[in-house]
Amino acid sequence: MTLMLEEIIGAVSGKLTEDQKRRGVLIHAFQKIQEEHNYLPEEELHKLAGELNVPLSYIYSTATFYKQFYFTPRGRKIVRVCTGTACHVRGAGKVMEQLTAEFGVKDGETTEDLAMTLETVGCIGCCGLAPVATVNEDIVGEIDGKKMPGMIQMIKE
Ligand code: FES
């Protein structure tokens, strides 16, 4: 028997508690706000609390539960350096040092002009290309002294 989408939603929805439904709405709202601002600005969360008539503390406790939401402005380019074992062994630390020297930010920081946020990440599954980093959606592999200028250029574009 094949269920129609409405039936599935109805069946699932009937099993959700009011709190789960409210959280679902909030997560969707957070995603929309973050899409627009690149993070969750305080004033937007205040506005949301007012519109949904829920305490601001509930808004924050829900948002902080999920690692995908940010509370400070993020860079236009998100640079994630893999620090998994293979990348660590093959020079991820040096990659971080060079990016820190070039952009003046450490792990978890964003440049003042909001051009770039530097982060570390666990293995992203490209160990054969270690050391690896991502610049937004693009993967840069086998980062060495020769590749670094190109990567820096890519971040600045
Ligand atoms: S350890 Fe870096 S991609 Fe796997």
For the stretch 46-94, pLDDT in tens is 999 999 999 999 999 999 999 899 999 999 999 999 999 999 999 999 9
Assess whether the C-beta atom of 82 lies below 6 angstroms from ligand 1.
yes
- pLDDT tens-digit readout, 93-124: 999 999 999 999 999 999 999 999 999 999 99
Compute the C-alpha angle 62/13/1, nearest 5°. Answer: 140
| DSSP reduced 3-state for 139 | strand
pTM higher than 0.75, yes or no? yes
Ordered domains of the chain (ranges, CATH)? 5-65 (no CATH), 77-156 (3.40.30.10)
* Ligand 1 pocket mutation, candidates 94, 132, 143, criterion most atoms within 8 A of CB: 132
Which one-letter DSSP state was computed for residue 2? Answer: P
Best residue among 80, 119, 127, 129 to mutate for probing ligand 1's pocket (most ligand atoms within 8 Å of CB) is 127
pLDDT tens track for 126-153: 999 999 999 999 999 999 999 999 999 9
pLDDT the model gives residue 148: 96
User: What pLDDT digit, counting tens, does each position of 8-21 carry?
Assistant: 666 666 777 888 88
